[in-house]
Amino acid sequence: MPITSKHILISRTDNIGDIVLTLPMAARLKGLNPGVRISMLCRRYAADVVRYCDDIDDVVEEEDVGEKLYGFLRASDIDTVILAQPNRDLAKAAFFARVKHRIGNARQKVYQLIYCNDRVRFSKGLSENHESQINFEFLRPYGDSHIPTREQIADSYHFSIPVDAGIAAEFAPHAFNLILHTKSNGHGREWPVERYTALAQTLQQQPGLRIWLTGSADEGKWLEQHAGALLALPHVVNTCGTMSLARLTQFIAQADGLIASGTGPLHLSAAIGQRTLGLFPPTRPMHPGRWAALGKRASNLCTDQPSCQGCEKLRIMTCDCMLAISVQSVLDIVQGWIADRQASPQ
């Protein structure tokens, strides 16, 4: 018998990319349960970005309830918990708080078999679906087994992101503002920084183009040590370590395009409808089949060559597969973006 819910708590306390790829599931839940209230449990650093999503009614910060989940659930009217990411403490608290529906993947963790009563069973490793599509497996207890296409995923994002006047003033003097998020915080195989430098050097000939480097403070320090030629270019601005995730979201939304490997800001950019280019190796589980940028203006590049020997080393930053993505192929896409921007000025 399909279940129904009045107030759902979706748990996703990991990284922003994983959170973004979970949001289309919330949109579907709204359709399956008219009038439902959806809350999301996430880490504080991501909370303001989740609040930009129109399909999330409330955000619960993990730091506020981490040691008192049972009391939080007992005092709430939450009748459904979806463990979109395994969380032993939440599963246990939901069980003892007598939350009516506790949805989790029984193939992932034994405790989900014990504490969850509306169980699903699937293997990410065996799936050919995209990460965002895989999340829809959690909706089977609602009698919904439909997995949306990638194009349908792109149409499932709904954001309201306020325009920042300061960012607008920074961007205004330039005809095209391109973001390069060169690093991945260890979450994706990276395009070599030498390729980013060559791309930036070529784009120096493009009138009115400004390049903005984004990333964490540590990534900014790495660029200072290893990408001096890139930072020295007159049309390149290094903003690494200067923005919160919420402000970065506004920054991306107000820019004209973003290029990155498989990391959180890539998925965020695609989801909010920005021109986005993802750069990927062909090797599972890092390949675009699982992690491609999905959005109405997103595209992805990946070599058609077999995986290189370096791909077996999951902890290396880059490899020959990423080197095989040419500067020209990326440049062609950026030039298409520039033409599109000129044809439809904002």
pLDDT of residue 321: 84
Q: Are strands 276-280 and 37-42 parallel, antiparallel or unpaired?
A: unpaired
Mean pLDDT of 298-326: 81
Q: Grade residue 218 by pLDDT with cuts at 50, 70 and 90.
A: very high
At residue 311, does pLDDT exceed 80? no
At residue 345, does pLDDT exceed 70? no
Q: Grade residue 312 by pLDDT with cuts at 50, 70 and 90.
A: low
Q: Grade residue 341 by pLDDT with cuts at 50, 70 and 90.
A: very high
Q: Grade residue 314 by pLDDT with cuts at 50, 70 and 90.
A: low
Sheet strand arrangement including 7-11: 58-61, 37-42, 7-11, 80-82, 101-105, 118-120
pLDDT of residue 220: 95
Q: Residue 248 and residue 227: Cα distance in Å, rounded?
A: 22
Q: Grade residue 315 by pLDDT with cuts at 50, 70 and 90.
A: low
Q: Residue 343 and residue 346: Cα distance in Å, rounded?
A: 10
Distance of CA 291 to the CA centre of its chain: 9
pLDDT of residue 331: 98
Quote the radius of gyration of the chain (alpha carbons, Å). 21
Of 67-76, 175-184, 279-288, 324-333, which range is least confident? 279-288
Of 38-52, 221-235, 280-294, which range is least confident? 280-294
Enumerate the β-bridge partners of residue 233: none
By three-state DSSP, how is residue 311 classified?
helix
Mean pLDDT of 112-132: 91
Selected residue with higher pLDDT from 113 and 194? 194
Q: Residue 40 and residue 27: Cα distance in Å, rounded?
A: 13
Backbone dihedral angles phi then psi of residue 210, each to the nearest 5 degrees: -120, 135
pLDDT of residue 246: 95
Cβ(212)–Cβ(255) under 8 Å? yes
Q: Grade residue 286 by pLDDT with cuts at 50, 70 and 90.
A: confident
pLDDT of residue 339: 97
pLDDT of residue 22: 98
Which secondary-structure segment (H or E) carries 10?
strand 7-11
Q: Residue 118 and residue 138: Cα distance in Å, rounded?
A: 9
pLDDT of residue 194: 97
Cβ(230)–Cβ(237) under 8 Å? no
Q: Residue 312 and residue 91: Cα distance in Å, rounded?
A: 35
Cβ(5)–Cβ(101) under 8 Å? yes
Q: Residue 51 and residue 53: Cα distance in Å, rounded?
A: 5
CA angle 23, 268, 187 (to 5 degrees): 100
Domains and CATH numbers, the chain: 7-154 (3.40.50.2000), 167-343 (3.40.50.2000)
Closest CA to 255 of 247, 154, 263: 247
What is the reported pTM? 0.95
Q: Residue 112 and residue 84: Cα distance in Å, rounded?
A: 11
Mean pLDDT of 128-152: 96
- Which amino acid, residue 219? E
DSSP string of 14-56? S-HHHHHTTHHHHHHHHHHSTT-EEEEEE-HHHHHHHHTBTT-
Cβ(215)–Cβ(240) under 8 Å? yes
Backbone dihedral angles phi then psi of residue 230, each to the nearest 5 degrees: -70, -45
Selected residue with higher pLDDT from 1 and 235? 235
Tell me the percentage of the chain whose pLDDT exceeds 70.
Answer: 98
Query: Looking up tokens 């999340």, which residue turns up?
Result: 135
Mean pLDDT of 91-106: 97
Q: Grade residue 67 by pLDDT with cuts at 50, 70 and 90.
A: confident
Mean pLDDT of the chain: 94
pLDDT of residue 60: 98
Mean pLDDT of 55-67: 96
Record the tokens describing residue 127, joined without a space: 């799936």
Q: Residue 252 and residue 272: Cα distance in Å, rounded?
A: 9
